[in-house]
Amino acid sequence: MLADRVLIDDLNKLGADFTLVLGDISGQPGAGGPEMTQRAVELLRGLQMPWRNLIGNHDLEFEQIETDRENVVLWLRAHGYRLPWHREDRGPLTFLFLSTERFREHDIQPHEVYFTQRQLAWANDELKRCAGRPVVIASHAPVLGSNLLVNAEMHVRAGNAYINQNHVPGQIMDLCCRHRNILFWFSGHSHLSHAHPDAIVNTLGIHFVHTGTTSADWAREMKRHSRVVDVEPERVVIRTFDHDKRALDPSLDFVIPHSLDHLMAARQARAR
């Protein structure tokens, strides 16, 4: 339901070095179950470049599984991963992938994207280890306090717009404040298009980037968008790929006129 072979062909034609998938790959009926998860992973295996996925709220909602742990394990096995979180160094950048780990065991809102304290401790340790390297974080939902676009009422219901929304959400922004090597944070979840001024925001010197959906059934504003990022020597360009036009939409280019080194230096300067 979420995607088809055309989408994979289009992504392959872009020739990216690396693809980040931001979760919620699993469609209805049977989202989060073995069949839908496996089908989505098989589709993603058609990508001809290295790629990595993380867990979104709908990936853990299979009704016939009793515990969140079992649903997480199902997802991990389908991908051949060992843990829900992951670090990957590619060229000058370090990528951290962070996953939600809870659905049915939530008391307030099952769809809240939730990082455990164990996962947050891992992220904290990794960020310390790569203190000199620019870091890109990928998660399914955005960070409370980032000022990034969210859809407060429709679909992203009260209580699940942000990571750990009902469980001390300020811990996530605190991580951003303490680690001055985080330069980018990509998230999805709200299915909105990229044509909003706050679909990319710079808060604390970090670019928080909303990423749309590839799904025809769940796209808001009738737009199916992915991000394409060009890291050039003296600038970074965050582009939009329109899956209906099957092409980049240059009107939505977001140009950061600085090198990665400059962006790192700017974050250090802000901290003083």
Q: Which residues bind Fe ion (CB under 5 A)?
A: 24, 56-57, 189
Pair 231, 264: CB distance under 8 Å: no
24 or 112: CB nearest Fe ion = 24
Edge-to-edge strand ranges of the sheet holding 86-90: 86-90, 93-97, 135-138, 182-187, 206-210, 200-203
Cα 101 to Cα 59, 90, 112, 162, 242: the distances in Å are: 10, 26, 10, 14, 30
48 or 215: CB nearest Fe ion = 215
b/e sequence 59-72, b meaning 16+ C-beta within 10 Å: bbbbeebeebeebb
Give the CA-trace dihedral at 182, 96, 21, 262, to 10 degrees.
30
Q: How far is the CB of 87 from Fe ion (least distance, A)?
A: 23
Q: Label residue 166 exposed, middle or buried (CB < 10 Å: 0-12, 13-18, 19+).
A: middle
94 or 100: CB nearest Fe ion = 100
Q: How far is the CB of 205 from Fe ion (least distance, A)?
A: 27
161 or 264: CB nearest Fe ion = 161
Q: How far is the CB of 100 from Fe ion (least distance, A)?
A: 9
Q: How far is the CB of 181 from Fe ion (least distance, A)?
A: 27
Q: How far is the CB of 24 from Fe ion (least distance, A)?
A: 4
Q: How far is the CB of 151 from Fe ion (least distance, A)?
A: 11
84 or 134: CB nearest Fe ion = 84
* Position of minimal CB gap to Fe ion: 189
For tokens 């590839």, what's the residue?
Answer: 214
Q: How far is the CB of 57 from Fe ion (least distance, A)?
A: 4
Which residues touch 172 (CB under 8 Å, ≥6 apart)?
115, 120, 143, 144, 145, 162, 163, 164
143 or 263: CB nearest Fe ion = 143
106 or 189: CB nearest Fe ion = 189
**Do strands 182-187 and 19-20 pair parallel, antiparallel, or not at all (unpaired)?**
unpaired
